[in-house]
Chains A and B, each alone.
Chain A
Amino acid sequence: METEVKDHADLAAAFNKDEDRVNWHDETLWWIRQKRDLAVNKLPEWELLRETASQIKDNVLSNLSEYLVQFEANAQKNGVIVHWAADAAEHNRIVLGLLNAKGIQKMVKSKSMLTEECHLNEHLERNGIEVIDSDLGERIVQLAKEPPSHIVLPCIHKKKEEIGDLFHLHLGTPAGNADPQFLTETARIHLRETFLTRRAALTGVNFAIAETGEFVVCTNEGNADMGAHLAEIHIASMGMEKIIPQRRHLGVFLRLLTRSATGQPITTYSSHFSKPREGKEIHIIIVDNGRSKQLGREDFRNSLKCIRCGACMNTCPVYRRSGGHSYHNAISGPIGAILAPNLDMEKFADLPFASTLCGSCSNVCPVKIDIHQQLYKWRQVIVQNGYAPVAKKAAMKVMSLTLSSPLAYHAGGKMGRLVMKYAPFALNNKFNPWYKQRDMPEPPKESFGEWYNKNRK
């Protein structure tokens, strides 16, 4: 287990050392945000769709225990085996138990942020089970021994040359070949072999329908289907908030999900799993892991509406320039920053501060989560609970003294302008966090107060 304290600002500083790369990362994500806008602007009913989705999720959260029971009963009627896990450890134990019972030592997995949250791969590997991630981006970060840096685009932080090097090392492609077409084809061939030889497949769950007991898994690559339809046992891990009441509600959510994520009208595959194949098994693991606690936090429960589209990351000026790994959590970006403190307020005390509170995340969120307001509220909760970073506490104290005394305020302002004018080196150095990757502005000649005193007539 990791004991080292991680801090968003430090990790972002490391990411910011390579300015060209940061610019590239920033522009790539902004391009995806623009594709989202193009898709969204074609639908005049977009805002009504968001509002409807948000209200459906309000209903879900207010009746979740009932819907979970209903979903379980209907899934069981369909011949699906339902498991319940209170936390990550229990989830991982259930998966391991299912594999051990069948003597299975190798599993193929499609994208599931929940299993990242639970650190399932590490747990299985410690117990002698090999896991291969089949989503191309996830396979790439798995080969690099890194976590995904984005929930929809796991290796968005990697350059194709680095991916070419990884494939050369692990999959035997020619050195120096970084052609995306060629690398994708290599992965296709390598993973076909995996799909055909794995007896167990694990997938995530995008939506679970209380009314029918079915669940929906969305991919563009077809990897969830390739794994699930060839395996003896399909394990689907779902966070309990993935429930929606009725099948027809999928019409709302499937219209929102991919347009928000990548600007596509729908994913290539939206697969509805209801019953197992003849003689095969489907297991669903319903996971709490802090969700019932978050549900009870009135200010933060809306975060459970999230459908994991990633739009808030693509639009976030901080995420785009700090990279997903700076959030040191399975789910990065603005949504990760409001989910993580619920799991461990001390460990993730830095995340709600990794925001400008500009509100862009809330504006693009397809289920209208008030993300930036929750970030602001988390800051207060974190400070009240005594988890604010030491430097921030000291700075706030000085700030509070200065702002509460007109004398100190005016003296401080004057001092600042003089220093910037005559001794810029005192600020333009590595000890000033505002100087990192930025130039300090020209100091004004006088304060507004001084100007006003001279000019008021």
Chain B
Amino acid sequence: MTARNTILAAVKASQPALKPLPDVYFPADENADLKAKFTEILTTIGGKVITAEGSEEIAAYIKTITNFGDRIESTVDEVYKIVAEENPSLLPHSLQNTELAVIKAHFGVAENGAVWITEDLLSQRVLPFITQHLIVVLNAADIVANMHQAYERIGDRRYGFGTFIAGPSKTADIEQSLVLGAHGSRSMTVFLMR
């Protein structure tokens, strides 16, 4: 027998009688201010939230946080036209000197400040990780209350890669001192678009 069949036979012999799956039902507070909650949580975990009307505001903000010559990668068309690099790269490694990445998210989650991103919103999967700083553009209306609603919204959509990102990368491995900017982006700013 192959390892596979040996293992599966052993598991089958050991597993107890079938127990049913429970209901998963966690209703969220209908009256909660999701935008306020999302902002509060993301700020607590080291992120930044800016409410804006249009992409010009994002472009103006980018000018204040970057220097001339900084590499900016944007997969958001409106921003890309104004500030971003000319040629989107094919090799993920070539993104290594990216100072700022600007990407869209499908939706945000109020209870934990996370945004849901799939690879169709990225030029390369590594982009939001390898960049020094990250800007995420999100419609203020696209915020769900909790992770149950998040997965309801994702449904059975197919993606090669998807990720929840909640704030800048961080570590507290050295004596529990919190340091932002471990291996991923050093900062995360979410533009909530009205």
Q: Give me the interface of A with B, judged by CB distance under 8 Å.
A: 28, 31-32, 45, 48-49, 51-52, 55-56, 58-59, 61-65, 68-69, 78, 84-86, 90, 134-137, 140, 153-156, 158-160, 163, 180-181, 183-185, 188, 191-192, 195-196, 212, 220-223, 225-226, 229-230, 240, 245, 247-252, 254-255, 262, 264-277, 286, 288, 292-293, 295-296, 298, 301
Contact = CB atoms under 8 A, between A and B. Distances in A.
Contacts of B154: 247
B14 A292 contact: yes
Interface string B1-25: 0111011101111111111111110
Interface in B139-194: 146-148, 150-152, 154, 156, 158-177, 179, 181-185
Nearest to A241: B11
B182 A221 contact: yes
B145 to A, nearest CB: 11
Interface residues of B, number: 71
Contacts of A298: 16
A93 B48 CA distance: 46
Contact of A137 (B96, B129, B162, B173): B173
A227 B125 CA distance: 11
A277 B160 contact: yes
Contact of B160 (A64, A180, A191, A275): A275
B11 A292 contact: yes
A65 B5 CA distance: 10
9 contacts: A28-B175, A65-B12, A69-B8, A84-B2, A188-B182, A196-B93, A222-B185, A266-B112, A274-B160
B175 A250 contact: no
A69 B12 CA distance: 11
Given A62-B18, A188-B183, A265-B112, A136 B3 contact: no
Contacts of B17: 62
Contacts of B175: 28, 158-160, 180
Given A240-B7, A269-B184, A136 B174 contact: yes
Nearest to A164: B174
A183 B171 CA distance: 11
A154 B173 CA distance: 8
A247 to B, nearest CB: 6
B34 interface: no
Of all A-B residue pairs in the complex, the 9 with the closest CB atoms, nearest first, are: A222-B184, A296-B14, A265-B112, A221-B182, A137-B173, A229-B126, A275-B160, A292-B10, A180-B177
A221 B184 contact: yes
A370 B72 CA distance: 52
B169 A277 contact: no
B124 interface: yes
B15 A295 contact: yes
Given A220-B170, A248-B151, A298-B16, A136 B26 contact: no
A257 to B, nearest CB: 11
A218 to B, nearest CB: 9
B3 A31 contact: no
A265 B22 contact: no
Contacts of B172: 153, 262
Contact of A254 (B11, B147, B160): B147
B165 A55 contact: no
A366 to B, nearest CB: 14
B114 interface: yes
Contacts of B129: 222, 225-226, 229, 269
Contact of A62 (B4, B15, B181): B15
A339 to B, nearest CB: 16
Contacts of A293: 10, 14
Given A155-B174, A248-B148, 11 more contacts: A28-B176, A63-B18, A184-B182, A221-B169, A247-B156, A248-B151, A251-B147, A266-B166, A269-B165, A269-B169, A269-B184
B90 to A, nearest CB: 10
A62 B19 contact: yes
Nearest to A297: B14
A250 B163 CA distance: 12
B22 A222 contact: no
B16 A65 contact: no
B15 A65 contact: yes
A188 B179 CA distance: 11
Nearest to A228: B125
Interface string B34-71: 00000001000100000000000000000000000000
Residue of B8, B93, B129, B176 most packed against chain A (CB within 10 A) = B129
B161 A188 contact: no
A65 B145 CA distance: 35
Contacts of A184: 171, 173-174, 179, 181-182
B172 to A, nearest CB: 8
Contacts of A180: 174-175, 177, 179
Nearest to B41: A265
Given A55-B19, A251-B24, A271-B161, A192 B166 contact: no
Given A184-B182, A225-B184, A247-B151, A61 B15 contact: yes
